[in-house]
Structure 1
Amino acid sequence: MANVFMISDHHFGHKHIIDFESRPFTGSEEMTRVMTEKWNAVVGKDDQVFHLGDFSFLNMEKTKQIVSALNGYKVLILGNHDRGRGRRWWLDAGFDEVSEYPIVYGGFFFLSHEPMYMNKHMPYVNIHGHIHGQKYEGTQYVNVSVEHWDYTPVPFDTIKARVVPSEEQ
């Protein structure tokens, strides 16, 4: 069975994100190369990756080159910086599926770009990005922005193990 991964906020081609988020890269070309290598080091050709938004600031040709260089079946949930281009643009760039809205995964996990409202009485977990290096407290939120995971897609099993008690898995 293929593995499932989650990740968000690569911001490919966005040189200012290096300073904004104190990323350890000398420029956007190095950032693209390293993040592509880290993705392909863990994601196999038959694996599935949910990218939770803010993928690329580059033009179609360069974005297409990056998407095609990344392993796996790629699902994009549009982030605030992706929405201006629309669903069709991202499909043409090479994503296998594109959603304009959050996705419910496994009946228990809300996959979204921005964190969603949750309270302690809601039996769900929100896997999100958008807030980069920040983090919400508690087990109902998992921030999969690249800054929290060494710029590497996170196995869904790792996320699940953090938030679902072992007797329920």
Structure 2
Amino acid sequence: MSSTFFTADTHFGHRSVLSMCNRPFANIDDHDRVMIENWNAVVRPGDTIYHLGDFAYRCGPQQTRTVFDQLNGEKHLVVGNHDFRNETQHLPWASINELIEVEVEGTTFVLCHYGLRSWRNMRRGAVNLFGHSHGRLPGTNQCIDVGVDNVGYVPVDAQTIRARLAELPQLIFLDYTDDEPAMMLPTSANV
């Protein structure tokens, strides 16, 4: 039985990400090797994985392809800001999107590189998964950063995501209609 995983912000080949994000690796070669090992430790060849952007940066086309080819799974790309500047979009992804909705184990996930303020069916339980913020943008019980800096440098599955969401502040909606909200806030906010 195959599984579905999510990740973001791997930044393969990006030396500066080590210091910018305090990643615990001695050098970029160590970083890339461990990230590949972590990926393949959970993602099997028949699994599906959605990468929510910033796959590689300043990596070079040959090295980007070498890394890609070592990674297990049917790989889908949700384009990030660094994926426009390199060879990432030329890799043989199963699909490339800027925003996509997928249903996994009864949950609708709205996938975007960026954290969204509002998304389709959020009142009906749809969950926004994002990257880009490197763990600096707080989540709620309906949106979470699945980037490697926020989830232990490993792709995560729907069950893990739901467990993490349960620990986050609940969204409240500040309007009372059936339409999408004009604004929402975590319940811990003063309203």
How does the TM-score come out when normalised to structure 1?
0.86
The structure, 1 or 2, with the larger RCO (C-alpha pairs under 8 Å, 6+ apart) is: 1
* Regions of 4+ moved over 6 Å: none
Query: Is the contact made by 1:64 and 1:94 (CA closer than 8 Å) also made in structure 2?
Result: no
User: In the TM superposition, what are the counterparts of 1:45-124 in structure 2 within 5 Å?
Assistant: 45-57=45-57, 58-85=59-86, 89-90=87-88, 92-99=90-97, 101-106=98-103, 108-118=108-118, 122-123=123-124, 124=126
Gaps of 5+ in 1: 165-169
Cα distance in structure 2, aligned partners of 1:20 and 1:82: 18
In the alignment, which residue of structure 1 is the partner of 2:145? 143
Q: Deviations over 1:17-55 (max 9, x none)?
A: 110110001111100000000000011000000000000
Quote the RMSD (CA, aligned, Å): 1.9
Whether contact under 8 Å (1:21, 1:133) holds in the other structure is no
Aligned pair count reads 159
Paired AA for residue 11 in structure 2: H
Partner of 1:41: 41
Give unmatched runs, 5+ long, in structure 2.
167-191
Q: Work out the percentage of aligned pairs sharing the same amino acid.
A: 35
Higher strand share: 2
Q: State how far apart, in whole Å, the 2-side matches of 1:48 and 1:137 are.
A: 24
More off after superposition, 48-57 vs 153-162: 153-162
Note if contact 1:45-1:71 (Cα within 8 Å) is conserved in structure 2.
Answer: yes
Aligned to 2:179: none
CA-to-aligned-CA distance 1:74-125 (integer Å, 9 cap, x gap): 001110111234xxx54532322211x2101117321000111138x73321
Return the structure number with greater helix share: 1
Structure whose alpha-carbon radius of gyration is higher: 2
